[in-house]
Amino acid sequence: MGGYVLNEIRDALANLDMDKVLELVRKAINQGFKPLDIINSMAEGMKVVGERFEGGEYFISDLIASAEIFKEAMNILEPLIMKEREAIKPIGKVVIGTVEGDIHDIGKNLVAMMLRINGFEVIDLGIDVSPQKFVEAVKQYNPDIIGMSALLTSTMINMRKVIEALEKEGLINKVKIIVGGAPITEEFAKKIGADAYGENAIIAVDICKKLIEELRSKR
């Protein structure tokens, strides 16, 4: 099967075998697989890590190890992806961050990278970003879009707090809001008053392009 090496990458990441993941990533590149397909199989591997953690087979140290492997592999893949980036005029400005109480940043970083490749200017506020920090960033950078990521069911509600803070400061109509992360759903996004939900990094780019069009037609 053509995607065999991609399955091997998923399994090697799930088994936390750094050397094997890096070797297979290089092999897949040489075989002509697209960096984005390789990243997808790594994301599948991360899901398995999460399941094994939930099942008591893996511990926090294993979650940390999986994140390190993912980041090492991204060091190989990111330059290849960025090479495809065209020198174009920025199409919009996005302020992005992982919400307060949450330090998961791999998915958020992927979204930021994909947005940059597609011509967006991205200001990354990092992890554990408070509502106040989002508000200050809107005042400072005047973005078109606010992107929020959450990976914990206990922190997803902090997305609503950011929206409330923006409402309170009278800034909510200046920006469009997109939210994403493993526990987030379309329904949750609607419920908290976000403009959009991005299921993955690629979909998030398309949505941000649409949000920019909506904003421009309003202005």
Residue 47 CB, shortest distance to ligand B1M, in Å, is 5
Label residues 98-129 b or e (16+ Cβ within 10 Å = b). bbbbbebbbbbbbbbbbbbbbbbebebbebbb
* The binder of ligand B1M chosen from 149, 175, 192, 194 (CB under 6 A): 149
Residues 6+ apart with CB under 8 A from 84: 117
d(C-alpha 139, C-alpha 6), whole Å? 43
Shortest Cβ distance from residue 32 to ligand B1M (Å)?
Answer: 22
Binding to ligand B1M by CB under 6 A, coded x per residue (else -) over 17-36, reads --------------------
**Could you say which of 18, 152, 157, 172 contacts ligand B1M (CB under 6 A)?**
152
Contact between 91 and 120 (Cβ < 8 Å)? yes
Residues making contact with ligand B1M (CB under 6 A): 43, 46-47, 49-50, 53-54, 60, 63-64, 66-67, 96, 101-108, 110-111, 147-149, 151-154, 178-183, 198, 200-201, 204
